[in-house]
Chain A
Amino acid sequence: MTERPLTGRIRPGAPPPDREAYERAGGYQAMRRALLHMTPEEVVGDVTKSGLRGRGGAGFGTGQKWSFVPKPKPGQRRYLVANADEMEPGTFKDRLLLEGDPHQLVEAVVVSAYALQATDAYIFVRGEYKLAIARLTQAIGEATAAGYLGTDILGAGYALSLHLHASAGRYICGEETALLTALEGRRALPRSKPPFPQVSGLWGAPSVVNNVETLCNVPHIVNNGPEWFKGLGIGPDGGTKLYGMSGRVRRPGAWELPIGTPLREILEEHAGGMQEGYRLRALLPGGASTAFLGADQLDIPMDYGSVEKAGSRLGTGTAIVLDDRACPVGMIRNLEHFFAQESCGWCTPCRDGLPWVERMLQALEEGDGEDEDLAQLQRHVGLLGMGKTFCAHAPGAMAPLGSGLQKFREEFAQHVHQHRCPWPAGGLH
């Protein structure tokens, strides 16, 4: 049987385990092990050796990220933030962990904060996740009452206060420096790097921001060791991954599978294949800011390197399926509307370029497009690409556009030459 460390305690439809049930199922063992029997450096060492990479989209090595935090100075505050601002369109995996096993995240935060010698931790959760907020609030209360948060945790001489911050919208808050700015009570604009948050983050203090799923792996690595973790994956990456699928598949959902599971297996075995009457045209493998993969690319293993080699990114690992009855140009218009709206407005290419792109796509959909528009769209893919903007927002927006212009060249041309969208009502039945 496949091991499912992250979701093993989650029972769909049932309330999450409370502290006692969580502990009966082996919970808070990693906290005891780390705080009572390991040095912070040993915990960092195990995470580094495990090869754990960020599950929020960028895929940066977690141990490496942690290694940039300078040595603690007496009296200095240090912060760990769990990024639960899950707003990437098509992504619903962290919700599962937040609602299904909130104590797992609390333990993950305590163990990771100990490793980083953080004095304060935050869970930054999007305001719309009402159930997650309620369940996390309860879990934090139970953990505090048991002495797992606060001063002198387990008598180990380590103190941590954990705060829950419910946000109020805006996709860009998921970007780690924008998130820190939001926590300071300011307009959530990204900051320039360097300095990196590990050196100068929240209120100028050393800070680490990690995705929820990333952090939830940490207690399991502490309990079972880095070699065990590496063995969970298929191929080069270690661990499991929460994969998901939405769109016209038979059983949309999220599943914890060995990282590196082929896309075909996720689609056919777990999502049950396409719905009756629909065929797969293409998919975005890891959220709205990843490039399209075609129906001929299903044998790709869903690990970081393989998806990148195929021209896309693993991203959040939750795929959005485009069927043959929906208009690809309409889908890309929808995506670019999102990115244009969610631009923070700080840098010109993003603030002005994305609405321009959206208007061109809208014109194509309305039959007002011209051949020149296609060349203009292609030009924007470069103008808004990596290195041209202040943060990765606009480059992310260009991933589905750039790949879409290649994969759906014919469909784009049809919009121009037929002076209309060839799909009745955008294909939305």
Chain B
Amino acid sequence: MSTAETLADSASETLPDALREEIRLLGQHEAHPRAACIEALQRVQREFRWVSDAHLREVAGLLGMSAADLDGVATYFNLIFRRPVGRRVLLLCDSVSCWLMGRERLEAHLSARLGIRPGQTTPDGDVTLLPTVCLGHCDHAPALMLGDALHGDVDTQKLDAILEAAG
């Protein structure tokens, strides 16, 4: 199987009933149900790591939106993934303070180590490498996030340790 197939496999065709109910309630708590759409997409992503077309259609239906309308929102936000991602997403800051502090070297190191370019996922589906805007950790540049964990003052040695510890 290709990387894409390995990853896409994780998104089943329909959302679990509990999640559907949760999303419906999120919508009900708002003056207008669509206000809950980002949070709803984040919930789907927490479970499936990305938002498939089938899941997008379901969420849209639950919040009274058209699929096209919701897709417009989903594709606008860079932390909503409309394509499969790996088990771990590595967000490597590419903004100015990290650039000044040597983030290019980190990117080169990561690409060599993982065998992928930014935007790609390792063939085993482990890591997706994404460039990201300033993480607000500039006093500890260069910075990155692996999953929910923020890391600062990263050099190539520390980067290896982070990848291995979380592996």
- On A, residues with C-beta under 8 Å from B are 77, 86-92, 94-95, 126-131, 165-171, 182-188, 203, 244-248, 252-254, 284, 288, 318, 320-323, 326, 330-331, 334-335, 337-338, 341-342, 425-426, 428-429
B122 near A: Cβ within 8 Å? no
B34 interface neighbour in A129, A170, A185, A326, Cβ under 8 Å: A185
Given contacts A87-B133, A185-B73, A188-B76, contact A326 B139 (CB under 8 A): no
Given contacts A91-B138, A128-B79, A130-B148, contact A248 B100 (CB under 8 A): yes
Q: Report A418 CB to chain B, min CB distance, Å.
A: 21
Q: Report B147 CB to chain A, min CB distance, Å.
A: 9
Interface size on B (CB < 8 Å)?
Answer: 43
Give B92-114 as 1s and 0s: 1 = Cβ < 8 Å from A's Cβ atoms.
00111101111011000000000
Given contacts A248-B100, A331-B99, contact A95 B136 (CB under 8 A): yes
Q: Beyond A188-B77, A334-B99: 17 further Cβ-contacts under 8 Å?
A: A77-B31, A87-B134, A89-B97, A89-B134, A89-B138, A91-B138, A183-B35, A185-B65, A188-B76, A203-B32, A247-B100, A284-B96, A320-B96, A320-B138, A335-B96, A338-B95, A342-B133
Q: Which residues of A contact B140 (CB under 8 A)?
A: 252
In the bound assembly, the distance between CA atoms of A170 and B95 in angstroms comes to: 13
Q: Which residues of B contact A337 (CB under 8 A)?
A: 94
Beta-carbon contact of A89 and B78 below 8 Å: no
B72 near A: Cβ within 8 Å? yes
B23 near A: Cβ within 8 Å? no
Q: Report A280 CB to chain B, min CB distance, Å.
A: 12
8 examples of A-B residue contacts, CB within 8 angstroms: A89-B138, A90-B96, A185-B32, A185-B36, A187-B72, A254-B139, A323-B100, A426-B104
Beta-carbon contact of B38 and A91 below 8 Å: no
Beta-carbon contact of B32 and A184 below 8 Å: yes
Beta-carbon contact of A168 and B100 below 8 Å: no
B96 interface neighbour in A187, A252, A288, A425, Cβ under 8 Å: A288
A428 interface neighbour in B37, B39, B99, B132, Cβ under 8 Å: B99
Given contacts A183-B35, A185-B36, A429-B102, contact A334 B137 (CB under 8 A): no
Beta-carbon contact of A338 and B139 below 8 Å: no
Beta-carbon contact of B39 and A166 below 8 Å: yes
Q: Which residues of B contact A89 (CB under 8 A)?
A: 95-97, 133-134, 138
A167 interface neighbour in B35, B38, B96, Cβ under 8 Å: B38
B11 near A: Cβ within 8 Å? no
Leading 6 A-B pairs by shortest Cβ distance: A246-B138, A185-B34, A168-B77, A169-B78, A89-B95, A252-B139
Q: How many residue pairs between the two chains, A and B, have CB atoms under 8 Å in the bound complex?
A: 146
Given contacts A168-B38, A246-B138, A288-B95, contact A428 B102 (CB under 8 A): yes
Beta-carbon contact of B136 and A92 below 8 Å: yes
Q: Report A53 CB to chain B, min CB distance, Å.
A: 22
Q: Report B39 CB to chain A, min CB distance, Å.
A: 7
In the bound assembly, the distance between CA atoms of A86 and B42 in angstroms comes to: 20
Given contacts A320-B100, A331-B99, A428-B104, contact A168 B42 (CB under 8 A): yes
In the bound assembly, the distance between CA atoms of A253 and B97 in angstroms comes to: 12
Given contacts A288-B96, A428-B105, contact A185 B134 (CB under 8 A): no
Q: Which residues of A contact B97 (CB under 8 A)?
A: 89-90, 246-247, 320
In the bound assembly, the distance between CA atoms of A170 and B135 in angstroms comes to: 12
Give B45-71 as 1s and 0s: 1 = Cβ < 8 Å from A's Cβ atoms.
000000000000000000101000000
B91 near A: Cβ within 8 Å? yes
Q: Report A213 CB to chain B, min CB distance, Å.
A: 13
Beta-carbon contact of A92 and B32 below 8 Å: no
Q: Report A365 CB to chain B, min CB distance, Å.
A: 12
Q: Which residues of A contact B148 (CB under 8 A)?
A: 130
Within 8 A of A (CB), among B111-142: 132-141
Beta-carbon contact of A127 and B73 below 8 Å: no
In the bound assembly, the distance between CA atoms of A370 and B26 in angstroms comes to: 55
A184 interface neighbour in B35, B91, B101, B138, Cβ under 8 Å: B35
Q: Report A195 CB to chain B, min CB distance, Å.
A: 19
